[in-house]
Structure 1
Amino acid sequence: MSSLVQTCVEVFSQLLEYNEREAVLGDLEETGVFGGLALRDVLGLVVRRKLEIWKSWRPWLTSLGLAVPCSFLLIGLSLHVSQTCQRLLGSKVEHASELIVGPGLALFVCNVLLLIGWSWTGGFVMGSVSRRTVSVSAISAFIPCLFCMSRFHVAFLSRFSLVLFLFPAICGVSHGLRFAQIKFKPALAMAIGITLLSIHTWSSSGFWFPNWVLSWPVWFLVMTAWRDRPHKLHIVAQSFRQT
């Protein structure tokens, strides 16, 4: 039993940062605390550290403000893209030029680009803003997917047509974990491009609300890059004066 408890202590200690984990295990060994007391101390510390993360606005933004609502909206867009693709491929076109320049194909391409852009930028913000809770954000994004897939009953379409956005979103998360920020000019170009592509989603009464929900991550990247520009310019100016 004692060996099992000690194994649990080592397993749960892996949830701590490396330096803190080594310090905690070293203190327990020096003080001679083993068994249930050691497990209680390690678990208590792990719980406190995990709760401290949620005192910041970042994990709440990425999990509730981004992952959940954007997942539902991207599921709807994925389904729309899948249905449009099936309709275009199944329709009989008399002339090939009609398929190439027709408005239906142009709208389909626009929606595909929007799906990729919205998914990637949302994933990037999820991975870069709150790296320590990205697993929670990922679970929050997968729950709507599982919910909708379990209730999906559309003839001639696979359930996987609902989650076309997952691959670009995962790529965005991966890049967000590797790079905390995008440079200002690429971020601005991406934001302008996505906004122009989303023009067809505007209604006569103003902007379509889901459009704003899906577009805020890319403009968030623009604002973040713009905010850090003066700091970078100040560093460059200091280095120039020192030389």
Structure 2
Amino acid sequence: MNLGLAGKTVVVTGAGQGQGSAEARLLVEHGCRVFAVDLCAQVPAELRGLSGPGELIYRQLDVTKRAHWEELAAQLSGREVHGLVNNAGITQRDRLAQVSLEQLHRVYEVNVAGPLLGIQALTPLFAPGSSIVNIGSVAGLSSHYPVAYTTSKWALRGLTRVACMELGPAGIRVNSVHPGFIETPMTSAANPSFREATIRETPLGRAGSSQEVANVVLFLLSDLSSFVNGAEIPVDGGQTAHGGAKSISDALK
């Protein structure tokens, strides 16, 4: 199946590990020229030795720094950019009564301001038919308990919808993907009871993989999704489908 991605240039943030590296690898396999960016000064181990018809170019970049985005845009000047995956994100697990404004601001800097700065910097380079994919979370579809992380992902939904409306006339699509519990370095740091409770609330009864998220991102970047714009796609095994009813149903069995 021809996805129409061969030879296209795509920027992936947070590409050093987990979902970001899986997305970068898959795009290279499908012939993309991938600018993979992350905080690491050296090429992360997960991005070394890639094989495929595409090409991977690694750059160190802090998504919260406008100057870093401007530098990347200058490096890309003269070539069309066809995709941006705003994957970089951080979590903060304090609850409502404990979270500080400093913690809230830091999460927003990375999870909301980072995607905004990327969109602002790269939009002048986007070709008609380009695609932006913002990586949200089931936290942005629910009342998840880590308040800074949850509110940042709700804000990212708002940014996605505004960008969809503003950039659509230029032929640029903007969608969001909302992973559930995915086996990544970020989730591995969570309390084991959090993992167990989340899987109990997931109808498929298991955690997801970074590859399963990357597959959906690939679709949204490809020509197969050419009329998909402003969509919010959960990749969560059904976790958000039941609105909390699963634990009630399970208790009555």
Q: Normalising by the residue count of structure 1, what TM-score does the alignment of the two structures yield?
A: 0.25
Bigger Cα Rg: 1
> Which is strand-richer, 1 or 2?
2
Higher RCO (CA < 8 A, seq sep 6+): 1
> Which is helix-richer, 1 or 2?
1
